[in-house]
Amino acid sequence: MASQQSSAEEPFSQPRIFLLSLETEPWFDDMYKGLIDSLLSKAKVQRATKPDPALRYLSGTTPDAIFATDPALLNPKYATVLEKVISYVRSGGTIIFGGLFSSFAKPDHLNRFFTFSWSLPWKSGSYHRTTVHVNTNCQGIRLEGLQPSYSQKALHLKNVPPESRLYAANEDSRIESNVFYPDPISDITEAAIVFAPYESGRIGYIGDVNGEDGSHAVIVAMCKL
């Protein structure tokens, strides 16, 4: 398990962020360098790329947030790690599904994941670029520092309660594409970014597939940094 710290002299009381990267890509660190640097500047960051180190870490440490950087947890072969993650969230922890998660998650796998692993009604929704707007009624996250609106290409989620849709399109949003017409968004109840309560903890979902700066700020805020 890799440990990434900005300084060996940082205090022990620093927040702990755990990157779960069981099916990472070699270019992930380059694509998300700005986000990783931001996390390192504010927290003690550790990362597991194999299941056994992940299980050891989660058995002995309670991080302030887990950032699942890829969709490995959708794979049944990581079921024991998923069980640990679910227990952690139920007990008050925060899990963030972001990074490469939405880029590589197959819609039917994603639907089964939320239905059977988390007992949530969330479903894979539209995939397009549009301008999304922050929901100031979303609870459990500091909105200071978040962009009021920004453009992102995202795999949206359906069936998310209004109060948990952190970023979503509104009546003025249009499809943003060099190929398709700038039609209005057909379903503005879909969420590009979700931050929802789950028992005593919280679940974050980042639909953005391109690592926009606005989404990086959201992940940092979800980590309470």
Cα separation, 57 vs 32, in Å, equals 23
Contact 157, 190 (CB under 8 A): yes
Q: What is the pLDDT of residue 3?
A: 55
Indicate the pTM of the whole model.
Answer: 0.94
Q: What is the pLDDT of residue 7?
A: 42
pLDDT in tens, 87-126: 999 999 999 999 999 999 999 999 999 999 999 999 999 9
Residue 180: band (very low, low, confident or very high) from pLDDT cuts 50, 70, 90: confident
Mean pLDDT of 181-190: 95
Hey, where are the domains in the chain?
A: 2-222
Q: What is the pLDDT of residue 2?
A: 62
**pLDDT for 11 beyond 90:** no
Cα 74 to Cα 71, 80, 100, 101, 106: the distances in Å are 6, 12, 13, 10, 9
Mean pLDDT of 7-34: 86
Q: What is the pLDDT of residue 6?
A: 43
Extract the runs of DSSP E, i.e. beta strands, from the chain.
2-4, 16-20, 44-48, 65-68, 94-97, 123-134, 149-158, 165-168, 191-198, 201-206
**pLDDT for 10 beyond 90:** no
Q: Which fold has domain 2-222?
A: Rossmann fold (3.40.50)
